[in-house]
Amino acid sequence: MTPTPSAIDADLHPVRRTPITRADLLDAALRLIGPHRSVSSLSLREVAREAGIAPNSFYRQFRDVDELAVALIDVAGQSLRKIVGAARHRAEAEHGVVRGSVEAFIEQVRADDKLLHVLLREGTVGSDAFKRAVDRELGFFEDELHHDLVRFAKLRNRPMAEPALAAKAITRLAFAMGATALDLPPERDAELVDQLTTMVRMILVGAQAMPK
Amino acid sequence: MTPTPSAIDADLHPVRRTPITRADLLDAALRLIGPHRSVSSLSLREVAREAGIAPNSFYRQFRDVDELAVALIDVAGQSLRKIVGAARHRAEAEHGVVRGSVEAFIEQVRADDKLLHVLLREGTVGSDAFKRAVDRELGFFEDELHHDLVRFAKLRNRPMAEPALAAKAITRLAFAMGATALDLPPERDAELVDQLTTMVRMILVGAQAMPK
DNA sequence: TGTACATCAGTGAACGCGCGTTCACTGATGTAC
DNA sequence: TGTACATCAGTGAACGCGCGTTCACTGATGTAC
């Protein structure tokens, strides 16, 4: 049997198999992350193993695991922006703006749980670069929310004291509650949605009632 | 020079020096913890080294580092209860209840920073036992706050919708903001106090304004 | 079209290290007689 | 008060392991002539 090099059996050759990409490594890392495995606990060899490459090949893509962790935040950020989009879309549909947004948020947490682990529960541990990257993403979320709050306040002619602060409070609260959702069985999502909805309403009502 | 065993030079003997305690190991662990070292990253050998004992002596006090981590939560919990006490005391003094409590909280975060690292920023990572222990302490905080809210509502005759939920929201918010305080230079504490105070007021005002 | 060569994504082997854990030990202290 | 002995908090040495990192390598692909 003469080996005929071709795209089909390319991966049988000991060398130069399908080239590995950064995305492959990010995927491998995400596969390893779960309720009991945090990003900071991943080892280079472990990720390489999961991706099916030799440990040293890792260096072709990242300087070290920490650089991968930071890159992971970007992916998580995209998922987060999907959340914001979904929430805004949902908000403009029938039921209450707040409830719709909260529902979209929690649903997205469920759907992309691996990714959101990274943002929701690991933002306080890890390297400085990692923390800064997480903070940046949270800031985006906060800004979008702030913008929305101002828009709604004008639209409904219900001015609000310190909308930026209200946005920050809601963001932190949503993330804290979202983090606990990751450990909760999905059947308690409804309860969580109820709680978070009420909490957010408290903040909004309070901000509207406070001296401007 | 004949060695004369006594309490004074007891630690010169190779064996049976001043006995190590669990508290000694907890202290050693706390000394290692900081903005760049998390509880979960501590190794048994590292803690033993810091405490000045042989690695295997560690096992006389704890089954493993995880058990130490859980024990650490108890110590942190005591610090937390000091916070609550201080806040309540401060609250009953001159300036606003909310502002006084928030100030006490942030000050305590500064004073016991090592301990509160554990509760504020590592509650979401770590073993199940660790997470459960942190949750328990947060629950205590929440319950005390709930109780206080109800008391104040009656006292001032300003009833509040869902005080338990308001307590939960305030707790989560305070912890989230407290966690960011750990990374902030102390000169920005005043700003943080202002922000958190306003946020908490939003929740309280909102809870009072909402249909009971 | 064919040949020579540079490039570079992958490789396996090896390194030194810190780790958790085990083992058989030592000798000061407390207790029984 | 002395003596014999059990207890048990500490010890040093050793183990096997997975880790990050380095090294010189290989051989398929792309390019120049």
B29-50 pLDDT tens trace: 999 999 889 999 999 999 999 9
Using a 7 A cutoff on CB, list residues near strand D.
A 5, 10, 13-16, 43-46, 49, 55-56, 58-59, 64-65; B 14-20, 53-57, 60-61
Q: Is the pLDDT of residue B94 over 80?
A: no
Looking at chain A from residue 175 to 194, which residues have their Cβ under 8 Å from any Cβ of chain B?
175-177, 179, 183
What residues are paired with B34 via a beta bridge? Answer: B37
Is this prediction's pTM over 0.95?
no
pLDDT value at B51 more than 90: yes
In the predicted model, residues of chain A with pLDDT beneath 50 are: 1-16
The 10 Å Cβ neighbour count of residue B59 is 11
Query: Which pLDDT does position B47 carry in this prediction?
Result: 98
| Rounded Cα–Cα distance for residues B42 and B39 (Å) | 6
**Per-residue pLDDT for B197 more than 90?**
yes
Q: Where are the alpha helices (DSSP H) in chain B?
A: 22-32, 44-51, 65-91, 97-111, 113-121, 128-156, 163-181, 189-209
Q: Which long-range contacts (CB under 8 A, 24 or more apart) does A154-158 make?
A: A158/A208
**CB nearest to B121's CB, from A125, A165, A175:** A125
d(CA B104, CA B196): 12
In the predicted model, is pLDDT for residue B151 greater than 90? yes
Interface test with A, best of B202, B204, B212 (most A CBs within 10 A): B202
Are residues A122 and B124, on separate chains, in Cβ contact within 8 Å?
Answer: yes
Q: What is the pLDDT of residues B175-188, one digit of tens each?
A: 999 999 999 999 99
Q: What is the mean pLDDT of residues B125-132?
A: 92
Q: Is A165 on the interface with B (CB under 8 A)?
A: yes
Return all residues near B25 (Cβ < 8 A) that are at least 6 apart: B47, B48, B51, B58, B61, B62, B68
pLDDT at A41: 94
Separation in Å: C12 C1' and A125 CA: 35
* pLDDT of the residue at A1: 31
pLDDT at residue B9 tops 50: no
Q: Name the residue among B122, B125, B165 with its Cβ closest to that of A199.
A: B165
Cα gap B169→A19, rounded to integer Å: 49
Q: From B167, which residue of chain A is nearest by alpha-carbon distance?
A: A199
- Looking at residue A138, its pLDDT comes to 94
At B6 the pLDDT is 35
What pLDDT does B50 receive? 98
Pick from B120, B125, B203: which is nearest to A38 by CB? Answer: B125
B149 reaches A (C-beta below 8 A):
no
Sequence-distant (6+) residues with CB within 8 A of A151 are none
Distance B91 CA to C21 C1' (A): 51
Rounded to the nearest integer, the mean pLDDT of chain B is 89
Separation between Cα atoms, residue A204 and residue B124, nearest integer Å: 27
Per-residue confidence at B17, pLDDT binned at 50, 70, 90? Answer: low
Return the pLDDT at A13: 40
Q: At what angle do helices A163-181 and A113-121 cross, to 10 degrees?
A: 120
Looking at residue A6, its pLDDT comes to 35
Question: What pLDDT is attached to residue B194?
Answer: 97
Task: Spell out the alpha helix ranges (H) of A92-188.
Answer: 97-111, 113-121, 128-155, 163-181
- Judged against a pLDDT cut of 50, whether residue B1 lies above it is answered with no
